[in-house]
Amino acid sequence: MATSAAQRFGRRLASSVPRRRFSSSAAAAAATGGSAVQRTQNPSLNLCSAINQALHIALDTDPRSYVFGEDVSFGGVFRCTVGLADRFGKGRVFNTPLCEQGIVGFGIGLAAMGNRAVAEIQFADYIFPAFDQIVNEAAKFRYRSGNQFNCGGLTIRAPYGAVGHGGHYHSQSPEAFFCHVPGIKVVIPRSPSQAKGLLLSCIRDPNPIVFFEPKWLYRLAVEEVPEHDYTLPLSEAEVIREGTDITLVGWGAQLSVMEEACLDAENDGISCELIDLKTLLPWDKETVEASVRKTGRLLLL
């Protein structure tokens, strides 16, 4: 029986649905140390649990790390921060007032003092009150001080995208607004193993970063995730399906739909190359350009 694109993407749609990593062998090997045998021994986690595991590691390995936002000490509405306050205390994992501008502003100050500030915006739709803090403060902090000061330890996490319900205040994908702002990075993972490695890279990167998490995949995307501490490189796109006729570039949750489109096109004799951008700013031009030189066509979704 033919498997659906959802199944290929590694979601647990039902107990009978097979799970599969939606990652290239190179990326998987990098995360596990290179052994296919090791990969089969890793526990299966959904994307939400992978985020939680990354936050546990970040707090455990760096005493200067803090996680804060609306309801994070309770575990958050999506439960990504569950257990953190119990283990690390409410001095390092704590709730904030319902004020996104205040959350990011506090994070800028905390990071400027040499700490690792992980600020959560409960839904990406509500990041706009903090737009000024991100664009005019965090992004320009290093430049305007002549590199004397910076808030490079700031990571802003925000669940984004539609989930089939939620309406116009809980379904937006605002990443494009931030992709025109020099001084910050914008990162979006496509799967649990990618989410863990990329989030740890963001937290340890010397630049302020907005990390959008595809909430549609929080519990639908399931794959083997290495238990140990690992990072994945930022600003490095990944060719997850090779082709010769056209290049497709995407990120996050849309990649499962794009893979289905690639398979449909293959039935019509069209060979598609699929690239996960992963870091939207600064993006990996070299990988995309090399692919387009080969295929001669480019489609962005």
Q: In 238-263, which positions are buried (b, 16+ CB within 10 angstroms) versus exposed (e)? A: bbbbebeebbbbbbbbbbbebbebbe
Out of 70, 120, 137, 170, the active site residue is 170
10: confidence class by pLDDT, cuts 50, 70, 90: very low
Out of 100, 175, 224, 259, the active site residue is 100
| pLDDT value, residue 17 | 29
Domain ranges of the chain: 44-224, 238-300
1: confidence class by pLDDT, cuts 50, 70, 90: very low
Rounded to whole angstroms, what are the CA distances from 250 to 31, 63, 74, 254?
22, 36, 33, 7
Residue 29 in this model has a pLDDT that exceeds 90: no
Architecture of domain 238-300: 3-Layer(aba) Sandwich (3.40)
Residue 30 in this model has a pLDDT that exceeds 70: no
pLDDT digits (tens, 9 = 90+) for 238-247: 999 999 999 9
Strand partners, 68: 94, 119
User: Tokens standing for 27?
Assistant: 């990326």
3-state DSSP: the chain helix, strand, coil percent, rounded to 5? 40, 20, 40
Domain 44-224 fold: Rossmann fold (3.40.50)
Q: Helices 47-61 & 192-204, crossing angle to 10 degrees?
A: 30
CA dihedral (58, 63, 66, 71) positive or negative: positive
Reply yes or no on whether 137 is catalytic.
Answer: no
| pLDDT value, residue 185 | 98
Q: Which one, of 202, 276, 192, lies nearest residue 232 by Cα? A: 202
pLDDT digits (tens, 9 = 90+) for 50-89: 999 999 999 999 999 999 999 999 999 999 999 999 999 9
Residue 272 in this model has a pLDDT that exceeds 50: yes
pLDDT more than 90, % of the chain: 83
| pLDDT value, residue 40 | 57
Q: Which one, of 299, 193, 200, 190, lies nearest residue 240 by Cα? A: 190
Residue 37 in this model has a pLDDT that exceeds 60: no
Residue 31 in this model has a pLDDT that exceeds 90: no
User: Tokens standing for 58?
Assistant: 């970040």
Tell me whether residue 177 is exposed, middle or buried, using C-beta atoms within 10 angstroms of its C-beta: 0 to 12, 13 to 18, 19 or more.
middle
Residues 6 or more apart whose CB falls under 8 angstroms from that of 256 comprise 5, 6, 8, 9, 11, 22
Q: What is the mean pLDDT of the chain?
A: 89
* Matching fold, domains 44-224 and 238-300: yes
DSSP letter assigned to residue 283: -
Compute the distance between CA of residue 253 and CA of residue 4 in angstroms, rounded to an integer: 15
Reply yes or no on whether 170 is catalytic.
Answer: yes
